[in-house]
Amino acid sequence: MVLATEYTELLAAFAATGRNHPYLAFTLNGICDRDCVFCKPRCMPDYGHKDTVLSVPEYAAIARTAGQWKVRKAHCSGGEPTLRKDILDIIRVLAEGLGTGAQIGMTSHGNFRKGLTVKGFAEAGLTYLNLSLHSTDPGRSAEIMGGGDPGISLATIREALDLGLKVKINCVLMRSYIEDAFAVAALARSLPVAVRLIELQNIGPAKEMFDTEFIPEAEVRDLLGDWFTGAGEVSRADLGVRSPGRYLQPDGWKGSIGFISNSSCATCSDANRIKITPSGVARPCILHNQDIQLREHLSPGTLDAAFRHLFTAMLERNTNPAWGGFHYVDYDLRWDRMERPQGAAVFLPVVATNSGTGCSVRQQPAGAGQ
């Protein structure tokens, strides 16, 4: 362990920012068995390349060290993380390494391959599930996602809730499919889920559709005005998992609706995730390149020093131009071999809208950035 005084001072300094404690956001792979119109992973030049991905023992070592730094949350995404043959073992060692009370989550489309069940994930240590669902209509869903069955996804949601897992539903907002998004959001009327309506971003394949399909949060909130009149805000403690947006619970609803609005609202000021790519590159900030290869610290036993660097880099995020109205682009996180020059910042300006501010992102905590 680093010097006790330095360790204590770093943890105290981060707590003073008002942000939640850092968590690990693992991208487990870069492949997916869906072809969503706004993502289209197969269009990437490097799609399907063979990364030397982290092994289960390497995930275990990273989790143990993170646990010593009081990290109690890890999230797994992709690609589609359930396509990894060792996904259950990864979930298990992350839960064991972070220790008692750890939150272990996963983002998936919920149409699991043969041999995988929600119960199996829960027994391995999964505590919450983020499920991607963009329409409840089979035909419309296929248009958006290129396959899959929303009925199976809904069954996955209900089984997860029955097993006591927290559930969030991710739904990307597109003008041509706005009624589909509203139908997904309406699931929160009868189910205790947090539906996240996510603004389209002007990156990757979505660039070709952005001008016609982008619809800002403010406009959506106006369209759903009756739902939000008198709605109460759901606290993070009640939500059960950390999220950058505000979640509102309409009167009489079992669940809540929130927005992730990276195109019209900056969220960097509230960020606390450390992204880790499939091959073990840790990225404490996407704007400022302070990456560190964790695999290089495994054999010499210097992971502790690596986490000291990561916590220091997270503190330095407070000086990023993102606080002035920019946010990060993390389109490259699934593919480690994409060029990312040292120190290069990737900016995407916030989109101006004609519907007022309409930004439901949580406000900067008192004392943050000081």
Split at pLDDT 50, 70, 90, the class of 318 is low
Q: Are 155 and 134 in contact (CB under 8 A)?
A: no
The pLDDT of residue 86 is above 70? yes
pLDDT for the residue 231: 83
% of the chain surpassing 70 pLDDT = 76
pLDDT for the residue 49: 54
* Rg for the chain, CA atoms, rounded: 20
Q: What is the DSSP letter of 267?
A: -
Greater pLDDT, 344 or 293: 293
Provide the mean pLDDT of the chain: 82
- What is the strand order of the sheet 73-77 is part of? 232-234, 247-249, 256-260, 194-198, 166-172, 128-132, 103-108, 73-77, 23-27, 273-276, 281-283, 292-293
Q: What is the number of alpha carbons within 13 Å of residue 341 lying toward its C-beta? A: 3
Burial 36-59 (b: 16+ CB within 10 A, else e): bbbbbbeebeeeeeebebbebebb
pLDDT digits (tens, 9 = 90+) for 328-354: 334 444 434 445 444 444 444 456 555
Among the listed residues 121, 5, 161, 10, the one whose alpha carbon sits nearest the alpha carbon of residue 71: 10
Residue 141 identity (one-letter amino acid): S
Instruction: Locate 351 and state its tokens.
Output: 């989109």
**Residue that is written with structure tokens 């952005």 in the block:** 210
pLDDT for the residue 338: 47
What is residue 249's three-state secondary structure? Answer: strand
pLDDT digits (tens, 9 = 90+) for 210-231: 999 999 999 999 999 899 888 8
pLDDT for the residue 3: 62
Q: Are 150 and 169 in contact (CB under 8 A)?
A: no
Contacts of residue 211, Cβ cutoff 8 Å, sequence gap at least 6: none
